[in-house]
Amino acid sequence: MDRQIKTLAVGMMVLFTSVFLKLNQVQVVQANDLANDPRNSRVATRDFARPRGAIQTADGLVLAQSTPTDDQLKRLRQYPGGQLYAGITGYFSFTYGASGVERAYTDFLSGRKASTSLKGLGDVFNDKEQTGNVTLTIKNAVQQVAAQQLGNRRGAVVALDPTTGGILAMVNFPSFDPNPLAAHDQKAVQAAYKQLAADPAKPLLARAYGEIYAPGSTFKVVTTSAALERKPELATKTYPVLKQLDLPHTTSDLPNFGGSSCGGQLPQLLKVSCNTGFAQIGLDLGIDALKSEAQDFGFASAPPLDIPGAARSRFPDTTDWLRDDPRLAQSAIGQNDVVASPLQMALIASAIANKGVAMKPHVMGEIRDNEGDVVRRYLPSSWRKPVTPEVAAAVTQMMIGVVNGGTATGIAVPGVQVAAKTGTAQTTGKNAHAWIIGFAPADAPKIAVAVIVESQPGVSEATGGRVAAPIARAVIQAALGAP
Amino acid sequence: MIGVRGAARRTELGLVVLAIIITASAYILASLGRTASLPANLVPFLLVIIGLIALAHIAVRRLAPGADSVLLPIAGLLNGVGYVFIARLDRDLAGLQAVWTAVGVAAFLATLAVVRRPRDLERYRYTFALVGVGLLLVPLLPGIGRTVNGARLWIRLGPLTFQPGEIAKIILAIFFASYLVEKRALLSRRSLPEGARSFLARLRYFGPILLAWGASLVVLVAERDLGSSLLFFGLFVTMLWVATGWAVYVALGAGMFTLGAAMSWSAFSHVKQRIDVWIDPWSRASTQGFQVLQAIFGMGTGGMAGTGLGLGDPTRIPAAATDLIFAAIGEELGLLGTTAIVAAFVTTVAVGLRIAMRARNDFEKLLAVGLTTILGLQAFIIIGGVTRLLPLTGITLPFVSYGGSSLVANYILLALLLRISDSSTRAAA
């Protein structure tokens, strides 16, 4: 038996050696990944117990800050900005993790990256906690006006600086108050979250960048750009005055809103938002030209917003389309299955405004440490270049025409030339999403804006101009007037 | 020989003092880490652990003076470290664990006092067989059987709950040892008839292993416990092989257990769930995979040196004080701490097998092998489960986990090993 006992000893050694090796794998090789895994709630506890920097607007309003408490979590995260800023700051919740800026810049806020600002050997031995304070590009002055103007209507407003991509205002309605989600009583937190998650109005969803809608006639800016970029002869083609366009391969027709008649050349078509004309342009362009143009503007990829959750805008799948498919005509006027986020539509306006270059959208302006020294500054960079500066200039001229006597007269600001395009995307029989995109001043743009108000009564091209334009106008005024 | 015995007891005393110092320091550190203050009950705590382990040490001096000097200090250390973690995780359980430790030491004393010669145990072989199987199956009885966390391993008598399987494993080891010593010649390959005489003649050799396999399947299926099932079957196959030297039994046993597990995997949802979670806990991170992932997260967060006693967050690990206590140790003491625990078990196994080698008769040899195998295999199964080397199953880490039945059973097991050790020292003298 002694021989077997010796073998058994060896066998037991093999078993425990394999345990030891596995322990090394878990506690050394994978240790870092496991310690920082988002499902490891120890990370949240650790971050909760640490001091955490503040989040503030470009004009100095504090949106998130931590105050010491006596309980186990040690610090309470508070959001003085409440629901007005929830879609931007997000929340920092023990149970639900972090979202928005709280998530995107958590390493800076908690000081895990701000410590890169060690200035000398002395700081290594200085146990003072280094946290980062995030200053956003958002201006409270613009954000407040956008929210007041949208009021209690479901929808979203996005305003950004077309030359940098810095977001000036981003408003969602309905929204939510992040404070209850950051509270310490986790039962209450869960109750609050469940209530928000179950709300059919989807207040947790940041509509401005997280939801996609049919863009309606605002998409005609893309169709116009496609014509100028890819088939310049269409720019001088005169389209017949029609009440409705006879769609190929189908018995149905594509009518203008309210049974009106329209036609003419491209600037005139855009000015009155002529559906029959643009539907024909779509057919003249062909599938590839229109789809490629949409993709150049950012459809088919989510905008690289620096906070998580930006939705991907979509041009429909065209694999089974005929060359002159009726769906092509509908897509050219922003219907069929074309869907875009308000942020994407604002970026389209910003690309036209910024000589054909869409900058990467971002909410972070700069991050400073406790001494006020800059740890990181957002360096603007271009995202997409959908059109040439010449085409951008031509489209700008046409969008000026839309404001000066077209469908978007409601956006006109005295003393400033605005360029814009309205949209009305029919949802149900009598309701439509009211859209407008635009920028100002037209010759040296400082702000590009997109507004959507969901499910407004009235299905006519005037709906976008009537409902959305005044909101955009106020936002432009606030942005241009703000210091 | 008296001199050697005296030296062994002096070594034991030194190691026991070391175990007390480590346990007491850990207890203080855990309290400092958690609340930045000294534990309120430090003096009673010290008196109790010093008292209990001193009692055990004196009992060995009186009742088994020639026994090995390392096993008791290691058991004391594991028990002490386990207690520190239980106290750090759950104050209420800590009080109970202290009581159970006292009961365990009493059982240790009683075993040393009652079992004066190991071969006395051989006499009651079939009584043990009956009692062992009975204990194994008694949780299935309606009325007193209790299901905890899906496994039906407990019985409840009045206010007390008990896991009879913990005692059954020792009693069955005693039975296996006496049975196999008697039948080993019959069951070894040398007695296998030339040519294939008849199927029945061959069946004689495989009858016992088939029976054990059947019993392990009953445990697996009826009591829903993969860990105990593996432990019992592994124990029997190991002892069968050590007794007969016929490696075919090991291969056969491994194959049969795999087959049984595979059949149960397809037939029983609770087995399938365990295996599925083992293979991929990540896609079930918030449901069935939660437990093992929290354990893994805890150990990963601990890393090399751990977060420090009282400074981690092991309360997030479900069942951290019982089956998953190893993960809590990994979180706060890191790889250094877990390696120390593994080393303690490796030492225990090595000493246990050395006792087996030195044992003077086959019964004592085989019993020492069985008892050592129980400790080693049980530690391997649960540590392997916690680290995802094996599917996670609900068995305790000997001496460390919270659990009255487990602690009492392991102290009895320890007393038997020391008894065998002492017996061979006496025989040599």
pLDDT exceeds 90 at position B233: no
Q: Is A23 in contact with B339 (Cβ distance < 8 A)?
A: yes
Q: Which pLDDT value is given to residue A47?
A: 72
Q: Domain limits of chain A?
A: 216-361+383-481
Q: What are phi and psi of B23, to 5 degrees?
A: -60, -45
Beta bridge partners of residue B156, listed in sequence order: B161
The vertex-A308 CA angle with A41 and A35, nearest 5°, equals 25
Beta bridge partners of residue A377, listed in sequence order: A366
Helix (H) or strand (E) holding A167: strand A167-173
Structure token digits, residue A305: 């917003």
Contacts of A9 in chain B (CB under 8 A): 349-350, 353
Other Cβ atoms closer than 10 A to B418: 26
pLDDT exceeds 60 at position B129: yes
CB B398 within 8 Å of CB B375: yes
pLDDT in tens, B171-229: 989 988 988 888 887 777 666 655 555 555 666 666 777 777 787 777 767 777 778 88
**A-contacting residues in B 311-350 (Cβ below 8 Å):** 312-313, 316, 330, 334-335, 338-339, 342, 345-346, 349-350
State the Rg of chain B over Cα. 22
Closest chain B C-alpha to A30 CA, distance in angstroms: 7
Mean pLDDT across the stretch B77-90? Answer: 92
- Best residue in A14, A25, A27, A73 to probe B by mutation, most B CBs within 10 Å? A27
pLDDT in tens, B51-82: 999 999 999 999 999 999 999 999 999 999 99
Check A66, A93, A175, A217 and give the catalytic one: A217
> Nearest residue on chain B to A37, judged by CA atoms?
B297
- Best residue in A2, A3, A10, A12 to probe B by mutation, most B CBs within 10 Å? A12
Closest chain B C-alpha to A88 CA, distance in angstroms: 27
Q: Is B366 in contact with A15 (Cβ distance < 8 A)?
A: no
DSSP A217: G
Instruction: Tell which wins on pLDDT, A120 or B314.
Output: B314
For tokens 């409440």, the residue is A82
- The CATH number fitting domain A216-361+383-481, selected from 3.40.1350.10, 3.30.1360.100, 3.40.50.300, 3.40.710.10: 3.40.710.10
Sign of the four-CA dihedral A405, A410, A416, A419: negative
Contacts of B342 in chain A (CB under 8 A): 16, 19-20, 23
pLDDT in tens, B274-297: 888 888 888 877 678 888 888 999
Chain B touched by A42 (CB under 8 Å): yes
The SS3 assignment for A66 reads: strand
Per-residue pLDDT of chain A (483 residues), as tens digits, is: 889 999 999 999 999 999 999 999 999 999 888 887 777 878 767 777 778 899 999 999 999 998 888 776 778 899 999 999 999 999 998 878 789 999 899 888 887 665 444 444 444 444 455 788 999 999 999 999 999 999 999 999 999 999 999 999 999 999 999 999 998 888 898 899 999 989 999 999 999 999 999 999 999 999 999 999 999 999 899 999 999 998 888 888 888 887 889 999 999 999 999 999 999 999 999 999 999 999 999 998 999 999 999 999 999 988 888 888 889 999 999 988 899 999 999 999 999 999 999 999 999 999 998 888 888 899 999 999 999 999 999 999 999 999 998 999 999 999 999 999 999 988 877 888 999 999 999 999 999 999 999 988 877 767 788 999 999 999 999 999 855
Tell me the C-alpha distance between A18 and A6, whole Å. Answer: 19
Q: Which pLDDT value is given to residue B198?
A: 53
Nearest partner of B410 among B334, B352, B358, judged by Cα:
B352
Q: Which pLDDT value is given to residue A118?
A: 46
What is the helix, strand, coil percentage profile of chain B, to 5? 75, 5, 20
Chain A touched by B233 (CB under 8 Å): no
Residues sharing a CB contact under 8 Å with residue A397, sequence separation 6 or more, in sequence order: A267
Q: Amino acid identity, residue B423? A: S
CB A454 within 8 Å of CB A421: no
Any alpha helices (H) in A151-240, and if so which ranges?
Answer: 186-198, 207-210, 220-230
> Nearest residue on chain A to B299, judged by CA atoms?
A27
Q: Domain limits of chain B?
A: 2-428
Q: Which pLDDT value is given to residue B128?
A: 87
Kindly provide the ipTM of the predicted complex, given to two decimals.
Answer: 0.91
Q: Which pLDDT value is given to residue A125?
A: 47
Q: Amino acid identity, residue A372? A: G
Provide the percentage of residues in chain B whose pLDDT is more than 90: 40
